[in-house]
Structure 1
């Protein structure tokens, strides 16, 4: 083997185990910053260097283009190999690559075009109009969501069940027309890319075989975010021979308010449980004692909840996937009649009915267990439980017909007439050979909350045809204080025994002079036991059966959705209780779970329950849950150590999120040293904040660091404008990650186009952009007539429009609409006369109805656009022309055009990354600036008074903090123009929630006039005034004799306070807040300011 030291040396033990695993298929579950991307990169390197897998046989899927570029860069650095031809990219990027290479097989023209969301919506609007659909009932945006949603599920129009619903039928008709239009025009939308590539493989087996042969190893990042078609894409490509390695997040699943029994015998809500708390836990064989909480989880959840009601009046609500301990016990279960689904390898599925107690003998074996033995079945699921036999028989008949599953037994019956169909083996075989029962059976399981790999019952192992690996939680005490967990495998065949012994496991004879053998061992670590179980599963191709020995009768691990009426659960007083009713509901709320040291169980609402295993976030839950079923021999690994940040940064993140009543995700930790304290900067205003950030980036760069090491994060897109200006003024290249620069944004371009028309009526580009924005009934036909007239007469579009308002070439309705637009521009222009620049911009935004248009839309995206428009007003307030002589509106429009024309940094350029906090997930940087840490900005004013939304904001702050690897700055401004008004905000509560010892306040002499204290009302309240010598020093440095905070008088604007001085000498720019005229920028040499 090659020297692979460089590959595994940087990894901690958990990461090393994941990277070097020998398992064919692996699911790696991880928390924030625990090194998921690092594991993927080093796994690829390990495959290439240690296992000699060709780089061209590896396909790696990321969720962002940036992540794929970063992954390629890391691989190239680690292995010193070119990566430009590696298949590393997003699902859509890789699928697009396939479609370009095989456009004919995909039934596409060679020059097919990708359409973005706006183009897609425009097409849907046109088709809806052609179909005469009521736009209020079949809203184009909702139609777009519907079509994309169906594609994400892998559904074409003919596969959608409408059940004669009129609304849905019209939606499907629109989907049909939309597909036809796209096919005619050679158009492919974003959702279509992956679906078309998936269908291309399905319809071209030879092509699929080619790619299966090529890609022997498939790796997927952020697996929890895959939708159904993406999961199907992976599964199809992997086939039977491919190796799949996926990395995702895990989560939790009890609702808030669930009562957890703690050390003093009282109960506490689960959301108030903390790491280190002692909770009551089952230790095995009826003993209950205290155990320590090692981790706490919390997640926003939207989906199905299951509520269990018991005969004693207990009630427990969880997500449907949460694991409980429940099952039918012979001496406890009431009589019930079951509809069951039975499975036998190499035969198929059948359904039937049975009951709890056979022949009215309560102490006999459970009916379904007897049936399983009689028919040599391998697995059995309880579909439904009924109170009477007739109810069960009706259910059997209907279900058999609905799902096309036989009711015949697997083996011929021996009793009654020997001439019946059920008694003739050849007839039975003919039925199961003819009918593919698997399709209906899997659908039946899915629709009833059941999993193929988690049956209610598996018969005991008998020979090499069936291998059960039984894992028992708290299976042994043997006098030990803490319980031990047991694993056992039994058999009577020499082949499996030899395989197990060859792998290093001990095997003994089950009985003296017997062929039967047994492997059995115990361990205090449940993780170690499960690791052994997965090893054995691979060796003997067995099934893992999980049980809990909390009371003398062991109960199986079972998900909430699989629990049935009549099952027994365990109570905190050491007895059994019976499930009498099961309710389903849908909710959008927080869910929680805790991990308990050693015992892995706790008491919730008086019921013993298990720790959660997987996260529950919609479709991805099914993907994570089904991974073990769909990818044979899959192992599950966990990462817990945070590999990203220093200890101080992690401690701050953990302290912050602790205010959400519990830790988010895992208790993050790191082996890195404490690192620097978090730098806290109090800016005089938002301009000072932006300049400070630019200065720190320059210091980093001048010290030998790369600009790309820096990220500026902000809560709202509107904050980027001031930060962008600071970067431009400092000549620092930058990029807006996941978005556009401020003056390139649609709503800003629209507002500027109105301003251009207000200033210059004959601006054709401005006219074209806003004549029907927002929509005002001026259609394409009308505009084409205006364009033709303008071209023929060689006049502007404005003049052509004016002339057509008095002719008869247009319909009365079209003339009126055009006249209304012309009058609007004239009215806006008249209203803005003698107004300051910011007021002119405000008039354009309001009178044009741009702002009200987005207010009516009401979405979060629309609110962001409104904030951008309000920030444009702020830009007008802060703008100062070079000498104040030219038309300020023209200068501002030119300034905006030049800034938009600057463009973002080139691909190759070393540049700063700027992004919203929502875009920052999964990224990491050596130095991070978390800006705008003020109340009403972060947390956002729309969230501050809503507890759930506030917790989401805090979680977003947690994400921002944990993006930093080495150094973190948190900045806030004492004054900020926000939502169209001057604000003097309070410091964000999120800063106050971080311990003092983790923070260091930054002092910059030019900007420390009176920082807002970060201390809350429970601490000493103080203000730090800028000392006279510092003021003098700053004034001398600027060469103006002026400094922030100084009172001055202007001949036109009156008295004001200096907010900021930029530059030196006569060319210095000074921002002053005037009492009557608001904030203005003036040039020092022309302003003629008089100190007062």
Structure 2
């Protein structure tokens, strides 16, 4: 039995903690770096505890980001490890970029070689690309987004004759994501959960989905960790390489890790055990997407002898806010406990709770408050309304329109989720990975080339029968009579375009290549001729995409 066959939290008895190791002589003799001077007692203890496992319980506003970045800088300054020997995991790319910038400012220059500083998924992708063949992929595999997942699942539901209206593809995509977050492959799904979709067919579709991903040389976000777990499980020598490589592991927002992330971290930390997790059990709010607060509560059991350091001095909130928050959270069960405090002498405005009948009444009351604040001389730019979900802005927008109060909604579709951006990236995905069926299907008739639904259905039918990709099928069908002459000619021109663009990948700068593709494909011209009010904005977004690509070394780096 291997360590993934039973309880996902049972990895066997952890090794006994190693004896403390001293720093090298030169580092020990050097005076402490100046950047330690501004830390409070708890922060400094968290930064300097470099031997063995450390859990930093960091309340909101206590400077956890400063602790993480200073700890990384301290490891580098004391020569405990090279940048390439540190694994630092965050939950967003923005947090990773900010952390690297802060480290550079602390040590007095840009930090080179921190390739293992990033999100769980970006680090997982790096590992998978290095060992892709061991999990049935090639190194240029495509990473699908949610829209691609749903389109693929819809195809599988149709093939299985499952009614997509009764059993929506989006629902199954969410269920598959939850299974992957729990570290569950199709074979490991409990019987009860297997019957949660289409009377037990959900597990079969999940298995078919995984098989189809392999044919497409693709993964989804959940696979970036699930396939890593399988890689480590089936190849102990690969796991041993990374356990030896990572002298220090640092994890941000540990309370938000799911089961798959937990297992991945525990496997990597079983080697040197120098793992530092920063989190706050009182801020675990992502249980709905698989976060397991038990991960942080179990830390001392998982890593015997771990140091637990509490950051309780708050630099962000007033005493009134802290008192209200502490009074609420104190009633929670299953928490490690801490008491936030501040030395701010001003108590601040009291927290006000107002009960209303409905959203319309809430919007009316807030509208009145906004107008009152305006009359007192406060600027609208200094006011904000936070809502739990996007749909809740409607009543506020309607009220502000009635009052004539100008406002701005922050949110809407993310840049890379906009239609024109997804289309452009689909072209680039096919150039980099010719067998990307989902990208091919998306743009085969964008702009319109006379390759409609009938042509796409013929391509799919032949591809399934032959067990090949849509692009490979297209190359075959252009020389047969299965398509109309117009469709054959149009498809032949498109395939020739892709061959020409692909031949330029190594010779041409990726930014210039993107401009060429958007121009020669007719995609830019399509929006130039479009007379809809959205068209100018879409053209601007395409220009922004080209500019964004300048930050990457090559096309592969951008698509990553």
* Same fold? TM cut 0.5: yes
* 2:318 aligned residue: 650
> Does 1:161 find its partner at 2:194?
no
Unaligned runs of 5+ in 2: 1-27, 350-365, 398-409, 424-441, 459-482, 491-529, 552-560
Could you say which residue in structure 2 is the equivalent of 1:97? Answer: 126
Alpha carbons 1:23, 1:635 under 8 Å: kept: no
1:62 Cα deviation from its structure 2 partner: 0.5
- Provide the residue aligned with 1:903 in structure 2: 544
Mapping of 1:148-297 within 5 angstroms? 148-162=177-191, 167=198, 169-251=200-282
Q: Relative to 1, partners in 2 of residues 1:717 and 1:137: Cα closer, same or farther, differing over 3 Å? A: closer
Change (3 A) 1:29 1:108: same
Alpha-carbon distance in structure 2 between the residues aligned to 1:142 and 1:894: 32
Distance, in Å, in 1 between the alignment partners of 2:385 and 2:266 is 37
Aligned-partner Cα distance in 2 for 1:234–1:738: 34
CA deviation map 1:209-237 (0-9, x unaligned): 22111112111111111111111111111
Q: Give deviations 1:22-57, integer Å, cap 9, x for gaps.
A: 551111112111111111111112222236333322
> Hey, what does 2:173 align to over in structure 1?
144
- Match for 1:781 among 436, 450, 454? 454
Go from structure 1 to structure 2 and tell me whether the alpha carbon gap of 1:123 and 1:907 turns closer, same or farther (over 3 Å shift). Answer: closer
Is the Cα contact below 8 Å between 2:52 and 2:274 reproduced in 1? yes
Q: Distance in 1 between matches of 2:105 and 2:370?
A: 39
Question: Could you tell me how far apart the structure 2 residues matched to 1:34 and 1:18 are?
Answer: 12
In 1, are the aligned partners of 2:259 and 2:290 still within 8 Å (CA)? Answer: no
Query: Which residue, 33, 41, 44 being the options, matches 2:61?
Result: 33
| Partner SS state of residue 223, structure 2 | helix
Residue 740 of structure 1 corresponds to which residue in structure 2?
414
1:43 and 1:169, CA in 2 relative to 1: closer, same or farther beyond 3 A?
Answer: same
Alpha-carbon distance in structure 1 between the residues aligned to 2:238 and 2:329? 53
Which residue in 1 is equivalent to 2:300? 628
Superposed CA deviations along residues 491-527 of structure 1, whole A, max 9, x for unmatched, are: xxxxxxxxxxxxxxxxxxxxxxxxxxxxxxxxxxxxx
**Which residue of structure 1 aligns with residue 111 of structure 2?**
83
**Please, which of 11, 29, 45 is the counterpart of residue 73 of structure 2?**
45
Aligned-residue offset at 1:250: 2.4
Q: 1:907 to 1:123 in 2, by over 3 A?
A: closer
For residues 319-354 of structure 1, give each alpha carbon's deviation from its aligned partner in whole angstroms, at most 9, with x where no partner exists: xxxxxxxxxxxxxxxxxxxxxxxxxxxxxxxxxxxx
Is the CA contact 1:162–1:168 (under 8 Å) kept in the aligned structure 2? no
Distance 1:47 1:712 in 2: 40
State how many pairs are aligned. Answer: 395
Whole-angstrom CA distance in 1 between matches of 2:193 and 2:540: 55
Name the structure 2 match of 1:110.
Answer: 139
1:3-82 pair list within 5 angstroms: 3-21=31-49, 23-50=51-78, 52-82=80-110
Q: Distance in 2 between matches of 1:196 and 1:781?
A: 36
Secondary structure of residue in 2 paired with 1:3? coil
Shift of 1:203: 1.8
Q: Is the 8 A contact 1:7 1:78 kept in 2?
A: yes
Shift in CA distance, 737/101, structure 1 to aligned 2, threshold 3 Å: farther
Shift of 1:105: 2.6
CA shift for structure 1 position 142? 2.0
Indicate if the aligned counterparts of 1:654 and 1:663 stay in contact, CA closer than 8 A.
no
Q: Aligned-pair distance for 1:652?
A: 6.9
Give CA-to-partner distance per residue, 1:392-430, whole Å, 9 cap, x none. xxxxxxxxxxxxxxxxxxxxxxxxxxxxxxxxxxxxxxx
Q: Does the alignment pair 1:638 with 2:310?
A: yes
- Report the secondary structure of 2:62's partner residue: coil
Partner residue of 1:373?
none
3-state SS of paired residue (2:111):
coil
Any residues of structure 2 matched to 1:921-932 within 5 Å, and which?
none
Structure 1 Cα separation of the partners of residues 342 and 192 of structure 2: 55
CA apart distance, 1:625: 2.9
Q: Relative to 1, partners in 2 of residues 1:187 and 1:908: Cα closer, same or farther, differing over 3 Å?
A: closer
Cα distance in 2 for residues equivalent to 1:96 and 1:748: 22
Aligned to 2:555: none
Name the counterpart of 2:153: 124
Closer/same/farther in 2, CA of residues 128 and 94 from structure 1, 3 Å limit: same
When Rg is computed on C-alpha atoms for both structures, the one with the higher figure is 1
Sort the Cα spacing of 1:792 and 1:98 in 2 relative to 1 into closer, same or farther, 3 A.
closer
**1:675-686 equivalences in 2 (<5 Å):** none
Alpha-carbon offset, residue 85 of structure 1: 2.0
The 3 A distance-change label for structure 1 pair 672 and 236 is: same
Query: In structure 2, how many angstroms separate the alpha carbons of the residues matched to 1:155 and 1:197?
Result: 13
Separation in 2, partners of 1:148, 1:75: 34
Partner-residue secondary structure (3-state), 1:620: coil
2: CA distance, partners of 1:60 / 1:674? 37
Cα 1:660–1:901 change in 2 (3 A) is farther
Preserved CA contact (<8 Å) 1:211 1:237: yes
Following superposition of structure 1 onto structure 2, how do residues 788-867 of structure 1 map, counting pairs within 5 Å? Answer: 791=486
SS of aligned partner of 1:27: strand
CA distance, structure 2, for counterparts of residue 169 and residue 635 of structure 1: 46
Q: Report the CA distance between 1:659 and its aligned residue.
A: 10
CA contact (8 A) 2:156 2:208 kept: yes
Return the alpha-carbon distance in structure 2 between the equivalents of residues 898 and 184 of structure 1. Answer: 34
Q: Is the 8 A contact 1:650 1:669 kept in 2?
A: no
Secondary structure, aligned partner of 2:133 = coil
Q: How far, CA to CA, are the matches of 1:47 and 1:61 in structure 2?
A: 16
Contact in 2 for aligned 1:29/1:636 (Cα 8 Å): yes
Higher relative contact order structure (alpha carbons within 8 Å, sequence separation ≥ 6): 2
DSSP-derived class of the 2:292 partner: helix
SS at 1:232 equivalent: helix
Listed one character per residue, the Cα deviations across residues 43-76 of structure 1 (whole Å, up to 9, x for unaligned) are: 1122222363333221111111000111111111
8 Å contact from structure 2 (residues 320, 347) kept in 1: no
| Structure 1 alignment gaps of length 5 or more | 252-297, 304-616, 697-710, 723-735, 751-764, 772-778, 796-888, 911-1092
CA displacement at 1:83 relative to structure 2: 2.5
Q: Contact conserved, 2:326 with 2:339, CA < 8 A, in 1?
A: no
Deviates more, 1:58-67 or 1:48-57: 48-57
* SS in structure 2 at match of 1:219: strand
Task: Work out whether residues 157 and 176 of structure 1, in 8 Å CA contact, stay in contact via their aligned partners in 2.
Answer: yes
1:41–1:75 Cα contact (<8 Å) kept? yes
Instruction: Pick closer, same or farther for the CA change 1:124–1:30 going to 2, 3 Å.
Output: same
Partners of 1:117 and 1:891 in 2: CA distance: 27
Q: Is the 8 A contact 1:215 1:242 kept in 2?
A: no
When residues 741 and 794 of structure 1 are mapped into structure 2, their CA distance, relative to the original with a 3 A threshold, is same
CA distance in structure 2 between the aligned counterparts of 1:8 and 1:738, rounded to whole angstroms: 41
SS of residue matched to 2:52:
coil
In 2: Cα distance, 1:222 partner to 1:670 partner: 22
**Separation in 2 of the partners of 1:26 and 1:230?**
18
Over 3 Å counting, the alpha-carbon distance change for 1:42 and 1:671 in structure 2 is farther
Q: 1:155 to 1:662 in 2, by over 3 A?
A: closer
